[in-house]
Amino acid sequence: MSYLSSKRWVAVFATAILVGSCGSTQSSGTPGSMVDAPDTLGAFAVGHTMFTATDAARDDRELIVNVWYPVDDADAATEPRTEYPLAGTFTLASDVAVDGLPVSSSGPLAFLVFSHGLGGINTQSTQLMEALASHGFIVASPAHTGNTALDTSDDMPAEKRVPDVSFVIDTMFERSNTPGDAFEGRIDESEVGVLGHSFGGQTAMGMVAGWAGAGPDPRVKAIGVIAGGVGEGNFSDEAFASVAAPTVLLVGTLDPGAFENHNYAFTHMPNAEGLFKIEITGANHTHFANVCDIGNYLIDNLGIEQDAWPGLGAEALIQPYNDTCTDDVFPIAEAHRLQNLYMVAHFRRYLLGETGYDFYLSSEYSDANEPTVSFVAQ
C-alpha cells in the first residue's frame, strides 16, 4: 500500500474510532466438567469468506458480509492466512483464518451475527470472530451500508440495524438450505445469537427487545452487548423487561457512558434467563476492537510516527491510540482475552447448552482468577 493511497483510509478510520465511541493462556482452576478453555482458541481451525447479499424486500439494499466458520484442522494446516480487506489495498493479516476452505463436516453448527459500531467496519473485531469460530460457531458480520467508515450517507442508521441482522439470518439460513452451497446443512437454526460493540451492542439488544421501529426477532436465543448504548434513552423499561434471552453485558470502567448504560440495563432486565454484568478495570471503549492495528501499521510497517499523523488526516487517531495501545495503559491483548473468554463461555453455555461453562460465568471464578474483572450475575 502506497503512502499516498493510505491517507484517506487512515483519516476515515480515525474518525470512525471516535464516532463509534458513544494469544492467551489457560485459565487456572478446574471447571465443573471438562470443557475447552474459553480464553484460548478452540478445537477447530478457522475459515473465512465474504459475499454481498441483496435484500429485495428493502429496495435491493446490499450488505457486504464477512463470515468466519469452523474448519477441520487438517484442511488448514498448510494454507496461507487471510488478508482482511479494509479499504483500497489496505489489509490486515490474520494469524489464524484461512480463506475458502470447506466448512467443518462436524454437523449443523450454532450461528452468530456480529454488528459493528456506528460508522465502523465489519472487520473491527477479527480476533473475537476467529475465537468464536474456533469454538464451533459460524459468525457473520455485515457492513451496515450507509453507516460504515467509508460511507456515512444514512442519516437514520438505527432503523436499518435490526432489519439488517434479521436479513443476514435469513440469508445464511437460505444458504444452509440450498443444495450445493458451501454452507449447505451447516447451520442449526435453533441456535442463533447476536453480539455487537457500541452501536452494534444496541443492535444486539434490539434483536431481543425491539428497537427503532423494528420488533424483536424470536430466532435470537442469546445476546452479547459490548460497550453498548443500552441505557434509558434507547430502550424503555418495558422493552428491557420483555427480554428473556440470556445476556452478557461487557464494558470497561474507563468508558463512562457505556458503563452507566450497562448498569441501567442490568437493573431493568428481571426476566433474562441468564444475565451477567462484567466490568474490566482500566479498559476503555476502544479496548474491545482492533483499534491498535492501524496505528501499529503506520508505525511498524510504514515508519510513520505519531507527530506525522496529522499530516495524514489521522490526528483523531492519536488520543484513542494512546489511551488503548501504549505500554502504560491496560493491555489490549488482555482486554481481548477477557472479551473472548466471556463471549465464548456465554454462547457455549446458552446456545450449545454446555453447563461446564457455568464455572467461568461466576464471581467465584473471576475473584480467584481475574483480578481486573468485576462480575455480577442475576
340 in Cβ contact with 24 (< 8 Å): yes
- 26-50 residue pLDDT tens: 344 466 568 999 999 999 999 999 9
Show the CA angle centred on residue 139, arms to residues 342 and 6, nearest 5°: 100
- How is the chain split into domains, by residue range? 3-377
* Residue 16 CA to its chain's centroid (Å): 16
What CA–CA distance (Å, rounded) separates 237 from 264?
10
What CA–CA distance (Å, rounded) separates 223 from 275?
10
164 to each of 89, 144, 373, how far by Cα in Å?
A: 27, 7, 33
Average pLDDT over residues 339-355: 98
Mean pLDDT of the chain: 91
- 179-212 residue pLDDT tens: 999 999 999 999 999 999 999 999 999 999 999 9
Residue written as cell 424470536?
218
* Residue from 238, 243, 195 nearest 218 by CA: 243
- Pick among 3.40.50.300, 3.40.50.1010, 3.40.50.1820, 3.40.50.720: CATH of 3-377: 3.40.50.1820
Look at residue 82 in the predicted model and tell me its pLDDT. 94
328 to each of 178, 211, 222, 296, 324, how far by Cα in Å?
A: 51, 39, 36, 16, 9
Pairing of β 187-197 and β 83-87:
unpaired
In the predicted model, is pLDDT for residue 163 greater than 50? yes
Q: Which grid coordinates are listed for 80? A: 496461507
- 261-301 residue pLDDT tens: 999 999 999 999 999 999 999 999 999 998 898 789 888 87
